[in-house]
Amino acid sequence: MRDKNKAAVTPPMGWNSWDCFGAGITEKDLLENARYIRDNLKEYGWEYVVCDIQWYEPAADSTHYHKFADLCMDEYSRLIPAENRFPSSKGGKGFSVIASEIHAMGLKFGIHIMRGVPRQAVHRNAPIMCEGVTARDIASDYSICAWNTDMYGIDCRVKGAREYYSSIFKMYADWGVDFVKVDDICNTEYRKDCPYSAKKEIELIREAIDGCGRDMVLSLSPGPATIENGRHLSANANMWRLTGDFWDDWDKLKAMFRRCEIWYKYVSEGCWPDCDMLPLGHLNVNYPKEERYTNFTREEQITLMSLWAVFRSPLMFGGNLPDNDDFTLSLLTNKSITDINQHSTDNRPLVCENDRAVWTCIDKDGHRVLAFFNLSDSDLTISVPAGILDEGKPYKVTDLWTKDEKTCTNAKFSVNLAPHNSKMLTFYE
Q: What is the pLDDT of residues 158-216, one digit of tens each?
A: 999 999 999 999 999 999 999 999 999 987 643 455 443 578 999 999 999 999 999 99
Q: What's the rounded Cα separation, in Å, for the pair 258 and 141?
A: 36
Q: List phi, psi (to 5°) of 273.
A: -50, 135
Of 286, 429, 300, 415, nearest in space to 358 by CA:
415
In the chain, % of residues over pLDDT 70: 97
Rg (CA), the chain: 22
pLDDT of residue 286: 82
Name the band, by pLDDT with cuts 50, 70 and 90, for residue 1: low
pLDDT of residue 64: 85
Instruction: Give this prediction's pTM.
Output: 0.96
Q: What's the rounded Cα separation, in Å, for the pair 117 and 139?
A: 7
Strand positions, DSSP E, 58-130: 108-114, 117-118
Torsion over CA: 128, 129, 133, 138 (sign) = negative
Q: Residue 396: enclosing H or E segment and its boundaries?
A: strand 395-399
Q: What is the pLDDT of residues 233-276, one digit of tens each?
A: 999 999 999 999 999 999 999 999 999 999 999 999 999 999 99
305, 337 Cβ separation under 8 angstroms: yes
Strand positions, DSSP E, 245-367: 272-274, 282-283, 292-293, 315-317, 345-352, 356-362
Query: DSSP states of 37-56 as a string?
Result: IIIIIGGGT--EEEE-S-TT
Q: What's the rounded Cα separation, in Å, for the pair 182 and 202?
A: 9
Q: What is the pLDDT of residues 140-172, one digit of tens each?
A: 988 889 899 999 999 999 999 999 999 999 999
Q: Which residues pair with 240 in a beta bridge?
A: 220, 273
pLDDT of residue 98: 98
Q: What is the pLDDT of residues 287-309, one digit of tens each?
A: 878 899 999 999 999 999 999 99
CA 384 to chain centre: 31
Determine the 3-state secondary structure of 296 from DSSP.
Answer: coil
Q: What's the rounded Cα separation, in Å, for the pair 261 and 358?
A: 11
Q: What's the rounded Cα separation, in Å, for the pair 120 and 406?
A: 64
The yes-or-no verdict on residue 87 having pLDDT over 60 is yes
The yes-or-no verdict on residue 54 having pLDDT over 80 is yes
pLDDT of residue 187: 78
394, 409 Cβ separation under 8 angstroms: yes
Determine the 3-state secondary structure of 390 from DSSP.
Answer: coil
Q: What's the burial of 106, exposed, middle or buried (CB within 10 Å: 0-12/13-18/19+)?
A: exposed
100, 127 Cβ separation under 8 angstroms: no
